[in-house]
Chains A and B, each alone.
Chain A
């Protein structure tokens, strides 16, 4: 099942409706496809191209640029160990080697049971918890070899299901209504806030000149 399901397709159309240019929905739709299949299947890229009016090659081209979009199958959990400077100093590299041993795969590979994919990451902005890692973009850290093992075991045992959704799901909270703000409203809002800002500046200038004359 690689093309969008009925439900996903209707979400896809909601996403498309948000953009004045259909093409701009490419990346959000790629995430949607990943949410359904865990990664971007060929069929889903073809369907996205149909939906946004480009070609499959262009969808592949865009998707392959980004690390968060996978065009090859990945595990249910994508584990990204940070090896950037703060984590490196706190043993990030060692943690990565340990992870390779624990999972029995080299960096970049996926376990045979399809549960884990291991990646090394640049800074994930969790430096204050170095050495840090992320599982499907949920942060964990600081980690030791032992706490890493526990994390993996818990994930395998399904104990963290509520915290970490399967790879591809960015958020389990769904927007109920699409934000469809009419352009006129945006323009009106902008005009109002510009006017307010103008008033503020004028008042400020007046106050300053008063001060100066005093």
Chain B
């Protein structure tokens, strides 16, 4: 809050306090250093005023009366007493009342030691109980989902979990049942709390009523060690703390970062930590030859690779993957591949994203800008499945701030209900529909929805206030169609900004740092590499390289001799798994650098163990271009090493010097050679006040880094146990920490129209055909990816892929009752359960991708831009 917004003055305990209209008394007092106890109040939830813990005396026409501070907003001249005898008696009484039915099983409760009920009882409570009657009893913890346990005896009915589920996540799968003394939280029979966001309720529950399965009885809070970090399970980049006990991660907690995750995490991010200690971790380097698997030392393995590399043509070396690595790893590998080996065939995407030119060369929006846009255009997959917390942010902007959304997609998404206008296009015709929205004629057979309304919506707003979220909705279709559609929107709507919908961990950072063909670090095209880069790099690739699909195709022709796979499980994650397998078996040397064994490992002749998340320092970049810190909490597993170190040593075995000894060296060089990152020094990035990360480019000449934001509001500020266990104290700014101003350099990517940079439109792309269904393959949060499968509790949530068709197509196939159908395409045939989805156009079948199961990917070939399948009832 800036000073000009503080227009009200009130007195709290005789002290004058400044506040702004609309602020809740409890928050205003907290900022002035007066802590009012609370349970139900949560700054990210709508106030309800149900627990009465925050009663304070407020002066009114009848003198001072008790009122809940979380439920009244401040007024000019308000007089408040928070520590009067009457207020204290009220707080004391409320605590006694809450404890009347509380089981007091603190010694066996996961919350013990970081429990707001314990803490506040100690600080404000009666000290002794007068209650001798029998307490109410419920069956001890019941599993309300595979991830969350509910102990109804411990619940103090604060309504936090239910408000979160209904208002924030939009899935009221839990609610209060009964009334008065029998009030308790419940799920509906046979409808578990299966929400992607369920873990948040356990984090904000002020008692031990909701606990998470993976953390149950794992540790006591006072034994935990913690470090702040950034989630890389997807590319939203949620801020969180990693907490460990005895060199094992036991949980992640969300940090309240205003700009990014506003304290929430999705369950995939929150519970993915189990994969770090998975039994599938690779312990030491090994060779996979004719004589089987032979464990070896680092030196032998690196020596073998270096020898092969030295004799290989630059063009025959390729690198796929790296989207999960830290920025420093990415830069080192890019420098190694492009600057030393001299190949540009480096691709962090697995043909599941977009042309890097669209991402790197457009004006980029932040999440905040997207939620405050006059119009948000979605041309991407279902955000709840792909970038869950971005979904929450957009949903709440639509619900609370009236954000207008225009959705252009092939099927309904979780945001369709919140969209002002939602249009469907026939697979392969995104560009045509965008043309239609921008005013051109369009064949009515290729879309559905209210085109007139969409046109009116677009022309009603200033194009400069539009944000386009662009991603890849369909793995089976060519990426050119959505790329061209996005480019058209950005080119036509002058000043419109782009928010990346690419979902893999650090894929956006990988693009920024040149881990894609045709680019060098800094969103700079290969041909425009700067002098400062040339000064630091030994050489540059002589010609533009291949993307991952082209690399695999080249491998089929025998043109690839060495392939590095950086955490890329091609067989599971590459859409066309058959192509991947055929290509891999043709390459003489495949080097797999990974944390976990997976389906691709068997094709690797050399396997090198990499350190996992939380085992190394570094930084990562999210969809906005926000660079934030990765914290290190664990000692690296067995012989594993960070990826940057592997590149440095490999270079050394080849007799080359990358010039890096420490992580810091890498960052200093990035800053020097990348115009995008210039000004973003380690001291700036590492400053305590930059905990939310910093968005590149620093185009403004001066960027103000605001003070550190409120951290997790579960913590009851001012109470000591929190300092020991929960996330750091939640005062608005750490005392003594001033805002920091630093100077960046003006940066703007030089480009003409985006569309001119893309290939021409695919020629023949038919519309609906009688017996040939157009295939849409979508991604799910809990897919059969190695990340989910290696985390014990997440792996239990994976369900078989389903297919969807429109009711008319359903009839056409002759289905009734059972939806079991045989799908034939790309020379393969699989069986799937179909359901009806009225949001789909006729002649379209939408199937969820199934990763490592490898069934769905048999159906389509990446060579084809129009993947079609035949379907028959089984």
Q: Do A58 and B179 form a contact, CB below 8 Å, given A42-B189, A45-B188?
A: no
When chains A and B are docked, how far (Å) is the Cα of A61 from the Cα of B176?
5
Residues of B within 8 A of A58 (CB): 166, 172, 175
Q: Assess whether A24 is interfacial by the CB under 8 Å rule.
A: no
The number of residues on chain A lying at the interface, defined by a beta carbon within 8 Å of a beta carbon of chain B, is: 12
Tell whether B12 is near chain A: CB-to-CB under 8 Å. no
Q: Is B288 an interface residue (CB 8 A)?
A: no
Smallest CB gap from B193: residue in A:
A57
- The answer to whether the Cβ of A105 comes within 8 Å of any Cβ in the partner chain is no
| Residue of B166, B172, B174 ringed by the most chain A CB atoms within 10 A | B172
Q: Is the CB of B178 within 8 A of A65?
A: yes
**CB-CB contacts below 8 Å: B130-187 with A:** 166, 171-179, 186-187
Shortest beta-carbon distance, B805 to chain A, in Å? 21
Q: Bound complex: CA of A61 vs CA of B186, how far in Å?
A: 8
Give the residues from 33 to 81 in chain A that come closer than 8 angstroms, CB to CB, to chain B: 42, 45-46, 54-58, 60-61, 64-65
What is the bound-complex CA distance between A54 and B188, given in angstroms? 12
Q: Chain B contacts of A60 at CB under 8 A?
A: 175, 177, 186, 188
A57-B191 in contact (CB<8A): yes
Chain A residue, CB-CB nearest to B189:
A42
**Chain B residues numbered 185-206 whose CB sits less than 8 Å from any CB in chain A:** 186-191
Residues of B within 8 A of A57 (CB): 172-175, 186-188, 191
Separation of A54 and B162 alpha carbons in the complex (Å): 13
Complex interface: chain A residues within 8 A of B177 (CB): 60-61, 64
Instruction: Let me know if B172 and A54 touch, CB within 8 A.
Output: yes
Which range contains the number of B residues in contact with the other chain? 10 to 19
B559 to chain A, nearest CB (A): 56
A65→B186 contact, CB < 8 A: no
In whole angstroms, what is the CA distance A65 to B184 when docked? 11
Q: Could you tell me the distance in whole angstroms from the C-beta of B175 to the nearest C-beta in chain A?
A: 3
A43: shortest Cβ distance to chain B, in Å? 11
What is the minimal beta-carbon distance from B265 to any residue of chain A, in angstroms? Answer: 22
Closest to A49 in B: B188
Q: Using Cβ atoms and an 8 Å threshold, which residues of chain A touch B179?
A: 64-65
When distances are taken between beta carbons in the complex, the residues of chain B under 8 Å from A45 are: 188
**A65 proximity list for chain B (CB < 8 A):** 178-179
Instruction: Write the nearest CB–CB distance from A47 to chain B, whole angstroms.
Output: 13
Which B residues, 608 to 626, have Cβ-Cβ distances below 8 Å to chain A?
none
- Tell me the smallest distance from the CB of B93 to a CB of chain A, in Å: 25
Task: Please give, as numbers and ranges, the residues of chain B lying within 8 Å of A46 by CB-CB distance.
Answer: 188
Q: Which residue of chain B lies nearest to A45 when distances are taken between CB atoms in the complex?
A: B188
* Bound form: Cα–Cα A36–B171 in Å: 28
The residue of chain B having its C-beta at the shortest distance from the C-beta of A61 within the complex is B175
Near A by CB (< 8 A), chain B positions 407-429 give: none
Partner of A55, one of B171, B176, B190: B171
Bound complex: CA A57 to CA B162 (Å): 10
Minimum CB–CB distance from A70 to chain B (whole Å) comes to: 13
Specify which chain A residues have a CB less than 8 angstroms from the CB of B172 in the assembled complex: 54-55, 57-58
**Given the complex, which residues of A lie within 8 Å of B166, measured CB to CB?**
58
Most chain A CB within a 10 A radius of its CB, from B166, B177, B187: B177
- Closest chain-A Cβ to B136's Cβ sits at a distance in Å of 16
A56 touches B188 (CB 8 A): yes
Residues of A within 8 A of B189 (CB): 42
CA distance A61 to B159 in the complex (A): 13
Assuming the contacts A42-B189, A60-B188, asked whether A55 and B173 have C-beta atoms less than 8 A apart, the reply is: yes
CB distance from B620 to the nearest CB of A (A): 36
Give Cα A57–Cα B189 distance, bound, in whole angstroms.
8
Which B-chain residue is minimally distant from A54 (CB atoms)?
B172
Contacts of A55 in B (CB 8 A): 171-173, 175, 188, 191
Closest 9 CB pairs of A and B: A61-B175, A56-B188, A57-B175, A57-B188, A64-B177, A55-B172, A58-B172, A65-B179, A64-B178
A-B contact pairs, 8 of them (CB 8 A): A54-B172, A55-B171, A55-B172, A57-B186, A57-B187, A61-B186, A64-B179, A65-B178
Q: A58-B175, A64-B177 are in contact. List 6 more A-B contacts (CB 8 A).
A: A55-B173, A55-B175, A57-B175, A58-B172, A60-B186, A61-B186
